């Protein structure tokens, strides 16, 4: 499977509104980056961060947030383990090198996590739709 093609699909849009996208393997023991926007923050997501996102214990997510590629994110809505939704909406916090915050949606299938990061000032709803559409496609394809 050419996963880079799916990154291209996630990045497409007129006008462009997706800054980065990534697809990760999420099976226990097989957590890894399958494809990501080259040079982006999402390419640096670690196995520990993947495990934290898919963890069944959600008790600390709203209080502590999560990290993506070492960048702290605030959890806005957690339906990652809710059948029929399977998304987690977060906001990437500003950093010393980038004072902006970004909307991010994480979508889950049986075998993958799809992460879509919007451009500055893009509302989360547009990002959520992009991730959800890919989640539905991959789920229907057996992933």
Q: How many domains does the chain have?
A: 1
pLDDT for 1? 53
What's the rounded mean pLDDT across residues 114-139? Answer: 94
Of 92, 114, 86, the C-alpha closest to 10 is: 114
Strand order, beta sheet including 32-36: 32-36, 18-25, 112-118, 102-108, 87-92, 71-79, 66-68
pLDDT tens sequence across 10-30: 999 888 999 999 999 999 999
Residue 86 sits in a domain whose CATH number is: 3.30.450.30
pLDDT tens sequence across 93-102: 887 777 888 9
Q: What does pTM read for this prediction?
A: 0.93
pLDDT for 2? 85
Which residues form the domain of 55? 3-140
Instruction: Find where tokens 């950093």 sit.
Output: 95
């Amino acid at each position: 499977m050419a996963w880079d093609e799916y990154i291209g699909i996630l990045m497409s849009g007129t006008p462009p509104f997706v800054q980065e996208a990534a697809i990760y393997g999420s099976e226990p023991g097989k957590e890894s980056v399958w494809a990501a926007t080259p040079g982006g923050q999402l390419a640096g997501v670690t196995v520990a961060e993947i495990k934290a996102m898919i963890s069944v214990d959600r008790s600390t997510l709203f209080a502590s947030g999560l990290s993506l590629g070492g960048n702290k994110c605030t959890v806005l809505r957690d339906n990652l383990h809710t059948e029929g939704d399977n998304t987690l909406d977060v906001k990437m916090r500003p950093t010393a090198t980038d004072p902006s915050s970004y909307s991010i949606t994480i979508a889950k299938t049986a075998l993958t996590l799809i992460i879509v990061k919007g451009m500055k000032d893009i509302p989360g709803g547009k990002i959520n739709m992009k991730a959800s559409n890919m989640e539905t496609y991959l789920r229907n394809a057996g992933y």
